Amino acid sequence: MTLIVQITDLHLRPRGLACYRVSDTNMLAARAFRAIAALPQKPDAVVITGDLTDGADGREYALLRQLCRQLPCPVYVMPGNHDLTGTMRSELPDFPGVGDAPAGDKLHYAVTIGGLRLVVLDSSVAGKPYGRLGGEQIAWLDQTLEADHTPTLVALHHPPKVTGIAHMDVIGLADTEALAAILSRHRHVERLICGHVHRTIIARFAGTVMTLCPSTAHACVMDFSPDAPAEFVMEPPAFFVHRLDPEAGLSSHLHYVEAYPGPYPFFADKGVSWPGEK
């Protein structure tokens, strides 16, 4: 069994500054990391699908490093539109994959984690909210997928498919057709995992399953009106646990950060009585 935790859109801030003056993203991220550390099964890796920080500030990346120290597994990162690739390279050179990534404007790499291959892409465009992979990175992805047919997760920040949340769709991935052409040729891609939209969304894309992970912080309002305002709400934060079983294949489980009452036993032999029982 291989377990990979996916978190996203931490939006870490300099200490004491709430995101949009409302969301205490640092506190919420710390809760998420504690929840990961407390999982009953130790994950093989944690993947953060972009927007590690809110302003690509060195202090924010230092806070990420501090949070990651409490985890019992490697942490794989990629840039989102709130990050800067160059700053990530300089601030996180010892993070797995980052130091070994090819030089250039894009931070991409591939690693094997248990029975899964993780291919990390960089969809960020410096100074812009939308995403673009670019021809060189698309070609690298094709070569990487062709070279190894292990069951694969492809990870990037910007989703390549319209979600119905208009103010986020206009800042989605620009070169979706190029990505779709590559993925449709490689049937061993089990999941395309993304962030950016701050909501749990699952859809088909290019012959695989696309899963958008909710943020550890705030959520975009689910309003499908074309003219809906760009607003967020403080919904319960959560993350994905992607589980690969050698026989059953890959399943993705949503795990809430907050601790809720329980667990309680289902069966009477453990102290629960059912209606009509004596």
Look at residue 29 and give its three-state secondary structure: helix
Closest CA to 145 of 188, 103, 106: 188
Higher pLDDT, 101 or 134: 134
8 A C-beta contact, residue 158 and residue 131 = yes
Closest CA to 6 of 153, 109, 133: 153
Q: What is the pTM of this model?
A: 0.94
Which domains occur in the chain, in start order?
2-259 (3.60.21.10)
Tokens of 155: 């990870």
The model's pLDDT over 174-217, given as tens digits with 9 standing for 90+, comes to 999 999 999 999 999 999 999 999 999 999 999 999 999 999 99
Higher pLDDT, 243 or 263: 243
pLDDT at 272 over 80: no
Q: Would strands 249-256 and 219-220 be described as parallel, antiparallel, or unpaired? A: unpaired
